Amino acid sequence: MNTNNEKIVFQPKTEHIYKIIVVGDPSVGKTSLLTKFTSNKFNKEYLPTVGVQILKEQLEIKDSLGNDIIVNLMFWDVAGQPQFYMLHRPYFNGADGMILVFDVTRSSTFSNVKNWYNTAVKYGLSGIPRVLVGNKIDLTDDRKIIVPMMEHLSEELNATFFETSAKTGENVKTIFRKIADVVLQSKLKKP
């Protein structure tokens, strides 16, 4: 009981749910990044995603006024194998944000990021917030993609870029917090 006649202000937490598609070529580490983020685990064995895997994670983010906002992210980990391309339309449908992932040790996966982006554009997602992720930076001796290349592509795609390692966890939490933040900000700006 408050005896000082002070007003106790209760600020309810606002809750949002957003669909985030995680796309890129096979074996770039999409599932590994999500697993590291959601359970802090890393599986050395490559297990290809069949179709799509959906994971949910809740984050608390501050809005521009400093209020706490609960953001529930529904990650759609989309298979990169060509046999699943026909399923992309329903997987991409209604996405609020996109994480484009490539492997810094394989040039072809970097080149194909534009194809993944163009597929999203084809399905009407050109305006959604996106983050570009160069994964596997722990494999320093095998690296093929350098920072200036990523900077150029990030400007071209209007996407913030990050270098990550699903194995060590470097920048993994950062990319997921960033996509949550940019999606939330884009939604709060809409009338």
- For the stretch 128-149, pLDDT in tens is 999 999 999 999 999 999 999 9
- For the stretch 39-69, pLDDT in tens is 877 777 766 565 577 888 888 887 777 778 8
Statement: residue 121 has pLDDT above 50 = yes
Question: What's the confidence (pLDDT) of residue 76?
Answer: 86
Q: Are strands 68-78 and 52-62 parallel, antiparallel or unpaired?
A: antiparallel
Question: What's the confidence (pLDDT) of residue 33?
Answer: 94
- For the stretch 144-154, pLDDT in tens is 999 999 999 99
Statement: residue 157 has pLDDT above 80 = yes
**CATH 3.40.50.300, applies to 14-189:** yes
Q: What is the DSSP letter of 46?
A: -
Average pLDDT, stretch 5-34?
A: 79
Cα–Cα distance, 12 to 9 (Å, whole number):
10
Comparison of pLDDT for 94 and 50, the residue scoring more: 94
Round the CA-based radius of gyration of the chain to a whole number and report it. Answer: 18
Comparison of pLDDT for 190 and 166, the residue scoring more: 166
